[in-house]
Amino acid sequence: MRRLIKIYDTTLRDGTQGEGVSFSMEDKVRLATRLDALGIHYIEGGWPGSNPKDLRFFRRMQDVTFKHAKLAAFSMTRRAGGSADADANMQALLESGAPVATIVGKSWDFHVTEALGTTLAENLAMIGDTIAFLRPRMDEVLFDAEHFFDGFRANREYALATLKAAEEAGAQWLVLCDTNGGTLPAELVTIVQAVQKHVRAPLGIHVHNDAECAVANSLAAVNEGVGQVQGTFNGFGERCGNANLVSIIPSLVLKMGLDCIPEPNLRELRDAARFVSELANRTPWSAQPYVGDSAFAHKGGMHVSAVLKHPETYEHIKPEAVGNRRRVLVSELAGKSNILWKAREYGIDIDQDTPDSRRILEQLKALEDQGFHFEGAEASFELLMERALGRYRPYFELQAYRVIVEEQNADREPVAEATVRVRVKGIMEHTAASGNGPVNALDHALRKALEEFYPNLRTMQLLDYKVRILDESKGTAAKTRVLVTSGDGDETWGTVGVADNIIEASWQALVDSVEYKLRRDERSRA
């Protein structure tokens, strides 16, 4: 039977201490429910004695039944000089309805005397009194030994004494915290081994990422017999963040052969990570291990060729195991294998023994040399393949366009107007439109000319517009690359344009975006 590692998630409390991370009360309920469905063992909901939102959350959660997780409420030890039964934080814990209490206490003598302003003996009493008070009133009590590794280095005997005080009072878990996040794995292992000689209660690990060792430290602790890992989804947390559970969980299951969440649930990991980012209003980290868009993205031609034969040549796990997918990128580093892969992905049949793929590759590299960039503009790359194969059929032909930006009044925004002359199905269309800037005006004028012939364009909209100057040394005369992201509610796609003139680069990207939409809709009807 494989050893079980308990996962303790503190995204809803410690994660929200990260810069720019905030959840509403309903967000926290949704996140807690999603984490429970994933199979997380403990979900720390917050500190009910610290703010009204967390108090409301715990009251709301009394109507929610978890399938897997235990809800934990966080708090500190009783105040110095007081008693646990009269402490407001203790009363808030009991009123929260949470079955688990996680108590943080000082284990570094420097913090006791300087931050708390009390004596070392009183701090030990605070730890013991608090846990002894809660133990018969809660299903489970955990002790988080704050700054334990710093405290152990400074005063080994006192740091161990804090753990013994919690253990003797009945704490079911002793959690060793690297609160400043500066401990390296080798030293952490040595300290964990020393602790195991002095206490019998199960150990947990809670580390921060200030030396970018949080995941490594957590896994090293588990390797030494620690049975609980605390962390946050996507590594959210104060300063440089907490240990990233999204990396720890698959490493435990797939690499170390241990139990934590049910292995089939790993396939939900990418979606859960993106769900947390979405509610936090944070852009998902594309290079995030295991679940990021780039985690299984292959760009070099030699890599793609090998992956086509045996995926394990450049992939440490199957991407599907964590709900991810393999991606092949196209750039000047691409080889024939990249082209064949992308053609298959787009439903384009290319025979490997014909010169088609080589011709596409040559065009790709020539365009990238000019400044085109197809990694974020795969719709433009699909059209490039169609043109190289002689299969491209334009849906309209440009005759001319003109853009005017006029400032009519210094107190008002400048007015942008575009005129477009295109031939559509043999008919000349000449339209004009205004917009919020020259590119927006050009987009409106083009749509005005085409929508009578292609009504489905009304469902399409521009979602993002990015400009990159390719040679900054030339100043305003530099070549410009424009990346446009478009969507129609069913799909999003990217297109690219490059020119010395920003309007021309924008026009190229706009035209590709429209052409891709029309081509895709035509294929779906066929």
CATH (domain of 123): 3.20.20.70
pLDDT of the residue at 33:
93
- Which of the listed residues 226, 242, 261 is the one where a domain comes to its end? 261
pLDDT of the residue at 480:
87
Domain assignment present for residue 287? The answer is: no
Contact 176, 203 (CB under 8 A): yes
Among candidates 295, 333, 301, 334, which has minimal Cα distance to 316?
A: 295
At which residue do the structure tokens 């891709």 appear? 516
- Which of the listed residues 200, 234, 261 is the one where a domain comes to its end? 261
Q: Which pair of structure tokens corresponds to residue 116?
A: 């708390």
**Separation CA 49–CA 84 (nearest Å):** 14
Number of Cβ within a 10 Å radius of residue 342: 24
Domain assignment present for residue 202? The answer is: yes
pLDDT of the residue at 50:
82
Contact 221, 288 (CB under 8 A): no
Mean pLDDT of successive 10-residue segments in the chain (526 residues)? 94 94 88 95 93 90 93 97 95 96 98 95 98 98 98 98 98 98 98 98 98 98 98 97 98 97 93 88 87 77 60 79 76 50 55 61 64 68 76 86 84 86 93 90 93 92 81 65 85 85 90 90 78
**Separation CA 61–CA 223 (nearest Å):** 34
pTM score, two decimals? 0.71
Please give the residue range of the domain that contains residue 162.
6-261
Domain assignment present for residue 276? The answer is: no
pLDDT of the residue at 334:
47
Domain assignment present for residue 473? The answer is: no
In the chain, how many domains are there?
Answer: 2
pLDDT of the residue at 432:
94
Q: Which pair of structure tokens corresponds to residue 392?
A: 């491209």
Distance from the first to the final alpha carbon of the chain: 54
Q: Which pair of structure tokens corresponds to residue 68?
A: 């897997």
- Which residue intervals of 333-492 are DSSP H helices? 336-345, 356-370, 378-388, 438-450
Q: Which pair of structure tokens corresponds to residue 138?
A: 């809660």
pLDDT of the residue at 332:
44
**Separation CA 166–CA 103 (nearest Å):** 10
- Which of the listed residues 261, 290, 308 is the one where a domain comes to its end? 261
